[in-house]
């Protein structure tokens, strides 16, 4: 169900990250509910780590009313942080960054957190933090510190981690002169749309059984399967990460009759021209800057009458005109939905 009262205020409040302070009963109840479950999640994570010999502290009050299911915990050192990340995988969390071999070694030395996400019915983001690095690592400008794009581009054995410090400026240079091939991960990491938001977002798009819903960057396939199950439409999920594409295929395989109406394609969703004639509703949940680029291209290429539905909690800068924009507030999740109809 969408919030109807004082919608412009609610929209601004979501974008300014102050929804819990807004005097709207439904928003308040939802933010309290999110705070309560986040508090319980953090308590479970801390207990799990304590049982394995790692003491971690929550940052702030994880139970405080909130518009996001997100929290941070701090441990004493980077080594403990990386061990904590491994243990939290037992609880279903996964890292946004692939941390193996040299990537793990460089991350431990030069960064001070790992962001984990757990997508069950409700998505939870947990930041595992440790004290900022000192020495060279603390003095190096941020843009020279290797990141997940470098980890993706180069797989090195652990002992060769210093090579990332050379690879980073080289990659920046090559990108600058336009030699680098674009990364297929440029639509950002996996973060699932909370299950309870999927229905209202498809409703905003006016999706019916006659539509084909394409989720561009479909992650674990939950959105397209829910679309097929709830509305009876066909669905296509495009995902560049092979493990997620496999996971989506497994989910669809277990999805009975609805799953039979869904196809998962392992591919690059930014090849929009490949998909525009295959679907009539396009679902976009990627970071705001990537979303704007993708939506702009879809608006130029999709068939007339197609809808593009996107959602996030941040203002879309340079948002293409013509969207219907609404806060979507359900019992346990909040987002802002945008829907464009292709002319």
Q: Which residues bind ligand SAM (CB under 6 A)?
A: 184-188, 190-193, 215, 217-219, 222-223, 238-241, 244, 268-270, 285-286
Q: Which is nearer to ligand SAM, 167 or 214 (CB)?
A: 214
Give the nearest residue (CB) to ligand SAM. 217
* Closest listed residue to residue 306, CA positions, set 211, 179, 218: 211
Give all strands (DSSP E) within 31-122, no chain letters: 57-58, 70-74, 94-95, 113-119
Q: Which is nearer to ligand SAM, 54 or 205 (CB)?
A: 205
Q: Could you tell me the smallest distance in angstroms from the CB atom of residue 75 to ligand SAM?
A: 26
Q: Dmax of the chain from CA atoms?
A: 60
Match 């945008």 to its residue by tokens: 338
Q: Which is nearer to ligand SAM, 163 or 180 (CB)?
A: 180
Q: Which is nearer to ligand SAM, 108 or 118 (CB)?
A: 118
Q: Could you tell me the smallest distance in angstroms from the CB atom of residue 160 to ligand SAM?
A: 27
* Closest listed residue to residue 45, CA positions, set 33, 26, 59: 59
Dist CA 26 CA 188 (whole Å): 31
Q: Which is nearer to ligand SAM, 59 or 273 (CB)?
A: 273
Q: Could you tell me the smallest distance in angstroms from the CB atom of residue 246 to ligand SAM?
A: 12
Contacts of 152 (CB under 8 A, 6+ apart): 98, 183, 185
State the sign of the Cα–Cα–Cα–Cα dihedral 82, 243, 221, 190.
Answer: positive
Q: Could you tell me the smallest distance in angstroms from the CB atom of residue 290 to ligand SAM?
A: 8
Q: Could you tell me the smallest distance in angstroms from the CB atom of residue 90 to ligand SAM?
A: 22
Dist CA 290 CA 20 (whole Å): 28
Q: Which is nearer to ligand SAM, 48 or 186 (CB)?
A: 186
Number of other CB atoms surrounding residue 28 within 10 Å: 15
Dist CA 69 CA 209 (whole Å): 32
Q: Could you tell me the smallest distance in angstroms from the CB atom of residue 201 to ligand SAM?
A: 9
């Amino acid at each position: 169900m969408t919030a109807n009262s004082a919608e412009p205020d609610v929209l601004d409040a979501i974008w300014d990250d102050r929804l819990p302070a807004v005097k709207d009963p439904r928003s308040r109840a939802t933010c309290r509910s999110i705070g309560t479950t986040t508090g319980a999640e953090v308590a479970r994570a801390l207990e799990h780590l304590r049982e394995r010999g790692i003491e971690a502290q929550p940052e702030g009050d994880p139970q405080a009313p909130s518009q996001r299911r997100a929290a941070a915990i701090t441990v004493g050192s980077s080594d403990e942080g990386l061990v904590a990340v491994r243990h939290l995988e037992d609880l279903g969390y996964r890292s946004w960054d692939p941390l193996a071999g040299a990537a793990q070694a460089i991350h431990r030395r030069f960064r001070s957190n790992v962001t984990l996400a757990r997508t069950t019915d409700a998505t939870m983001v947990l930041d595992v933090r440790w004290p900022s690095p000192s020495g060279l690592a603390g003095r190096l400008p941020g843009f020279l510190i290797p990141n997940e794009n470098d980890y993706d581009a180069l797989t090195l054995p652990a002992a060769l981690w210093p090579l990332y410090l050379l690879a980073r400026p080289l990659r920046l240079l090559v990108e600058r002169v336009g030699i680098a091939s674009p990364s297929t991960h440029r639509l950002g990491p996996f973060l699932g749309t909370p299950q309870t938001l999927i229905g209202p977002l498809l409703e905003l798009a006016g999706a019916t059984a006659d539509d084909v819903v394409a989720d561009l960057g479909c992650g674990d396939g939950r959105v397209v399967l829910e679309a097929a199950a709830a509305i009876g439409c066909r669905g296509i999920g495009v995902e560049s990460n092979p493990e997620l594409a496999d996971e989506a295929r497994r989910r669809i395989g277990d999805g009975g009759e609805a799953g039979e109406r869904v196809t998962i394609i392992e591919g690059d969703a930014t090849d929009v021209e490949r998909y525009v004639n295959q679907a009539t509703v396009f679902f976009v949940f990627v970071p705001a800057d990537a979303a704007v680029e993708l939506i702009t291209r879809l608006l130029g290429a999709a068939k007339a009458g197609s809808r593009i539905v996107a959602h996030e909690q941040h203002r879309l800068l340079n948002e293409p005109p013509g969207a219907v924009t609404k806060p979507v507030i359900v019992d346990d999740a909040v987002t802002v939905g945008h829907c464009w109809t292709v002319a």
